[in-house]
């Protein structure tokens, strides 16, 4: 069995709450059958107080072996690098110290969520008074708490399961892949995110894709149209499989009427503009699809808009379909 230790730092605990919604099987049974045993988790384990501290001390000193360290929440290094903004309850030592000690013994280290990967909301302001950072990144810059050169005992950098919160499937699939197949550096993208979800775009499988194709755009919340042009959606740029691997079996941000804010990316929490607004230059969105040159987008957008069917155009600015698809006999037998 692979032994897993989970710590929570500066964050909301949302990634654990998300993980508890793992489907279709019960989380602990799923991990147990994959050969993973949770040694300690602050919300899931019975051990607390001195019992938990004794266990963690034995783990941090190498007296008790373990394999996987998962950390949730940003690393709070303040004030003045002391880490005393977040002390381990009942112990009085900074959690950053505990993470550093445990990481030296772990065979694999996972950053659970964008806070732990890149700093997240705790690091959102330019002043960053909490001195928050990720385990191995500070925004999009390598470094963070453990440093650019850190590798775990298995020879890998921190594995960043980014998201806010991260999808339960991303966590479970990453742990199961590790247990059943193993992880290599080739399984990670340039930001050390697992490629099985990070090499997709949120745009893939978006239920609003017909509106996107014709550039039939929503102009206000609740509209059915594409959210990219006016409502701040970054689905064509965001690396995740949210619309093909839905949440709770059917949901995603855009399916619920909210723009994708690219929460798997560094610095998503401080875009420099309201989340539900699209910044433009000369009327053209600044954030264009990842692989499309600006000139091509402008030309294709103009052509698409000129060919927009009335059904698509009218439905785009309504909160329910107001024009049904035409009934037309096809030439196919």
155 lies in the same domain as 209: no
- Band of residue 28 on the pLDDT scale cut at 50, 70, 90: very high
126 lies in the same domain as 180: yes
Do the domain assignments include residue 328?
no
**Does the N-terminal peptide bond of residue 156 adopt cis geometry, omega within 30 degrees of 0?**
no
pLDDT value of residue 284: 81
Whether pLDDT at 71 is above 80: yes
**C-alpha torsion sign, points 188, 194, 196, 201:** negative
Q: What range defines the domain where residue 285 resides?
A: 200-320
pLDDT value of residue 333: 62
72 lies in the same domain as 15: yes
Q: Specify whether the CB–CB gap between 106 and 112 falls below 8 A.
A: no
188 lies in the same domain as 131: yes
156 lies in the same domain as 216: no
CA distance 73 to 11: 4
Give Cα separations from 36 to 102, 148, 243 (angstroms): 18, 28, 28
pLDDT value of residue 332: 67
Do the domain assignments include residue 275?
yes
Domain final residue, candidates 165, 197, 229:
197
132 lies in the same domain as 271: no
Q: Specify whether the CB–CB gap between 178 and 258 falls below 8 A.
A: no
Least confident window among 26-40, 120-134, 281-295, 310-324: 281-295
CATH number for the domain that contains residue 222: 4.10.480.10
CA distance 194 to 297: 29
Do the domain assignments include residue 249?
yes
Domain final residue, candidates 197, 218, 245:
197
Do the domain assignments include residue 296?
yes
pLDDT value of residue 48: 85
DSSP symbols for 26-54? -HHHHHHHTTEEEEE-TTT-S--HHHHHH
* 232-249 tens-digit pLDDT: 999 999 999 999 999 988
146 lies in the same domain as 215: no
Do the domain assignments include residue 331?
no
Number of structural domains in the chain = 2
219 lies in the same domain as 191: no
Whether pLDDT at 299 is above 90: no
Judged by DSSP in three states, 62 sits in coil
pTM for the structure as a whole: 0.94
116 lies in the same domain as 213: no
pLDDT value of residue 222: 95
176 lies in the same domain as 119: yes
54 lies in the same domain as 116: yes
């Amino acid at each position: 069995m692979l032994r897993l230790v989970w710590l929570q730092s500066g964050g909301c605990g949302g990634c654990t709450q998300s993980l508890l919604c793992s489907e279709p099987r019960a989380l602990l049974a799923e991990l147990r059958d994959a050969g993973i045993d949770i040694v300690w988790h602050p919300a899931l384990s019975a051990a607390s107080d001195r019992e938990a501290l004794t266990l963690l001390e034995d783990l941090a000193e190498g007296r008790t072996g373990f394999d996987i360290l998962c950390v949730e929440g940003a690393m709070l290094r303040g004030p003045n690098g002391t880490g005393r903004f977040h002390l381990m309850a009942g112990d009085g030592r900074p959690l950053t110290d505990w993470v550093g000690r445990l990481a030296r013994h772990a065979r694999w280290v996972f950053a659970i969520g964008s806070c732990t990967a890149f700093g997240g909301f705790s690091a959102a302001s330019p002043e960053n008074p909490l001195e928050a950072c990720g385990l191995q990144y500070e925004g999009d810059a390598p470094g963070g708490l453990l440093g650019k050169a850190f590798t775990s005992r298995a020879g890998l950098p921190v594995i960043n399961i980014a998201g806010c919160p991260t999808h339960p499937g991303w966590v479970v699939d990453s742990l199961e892949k590790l247990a059943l197949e193993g992880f290599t550096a080739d399984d990670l993208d340039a930001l050390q995110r697992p490629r099985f979800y990070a090499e997709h775009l949120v745009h893939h499988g978006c239920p609003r894709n017909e509106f996107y194709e014709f550039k039939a755009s929503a102009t206000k919340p609740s509209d059915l149209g594409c959210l990219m042009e006016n409502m701040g959606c970054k689905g064509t740029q965001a690396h995740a499989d949210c619309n093909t691997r839905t949440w709770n079996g059917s949901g995603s941000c855009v399916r619920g009427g909210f723009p994708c804010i690219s929460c798997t990316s560094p610095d998503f929490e401080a875009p420099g503009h309201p989340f539900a607004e699209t910044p433009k230059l000369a009327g053209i969105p600044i954030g264009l699809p990842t692989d499309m040159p600006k000139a091509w987008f402008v030309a294709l957008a103009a052509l698409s808009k000129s060919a927009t069917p009335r059904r698509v155009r009218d439905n785009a600015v309504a909160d329910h379909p107001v024009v049904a698809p035409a009934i037309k006999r096809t030439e196919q037998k």
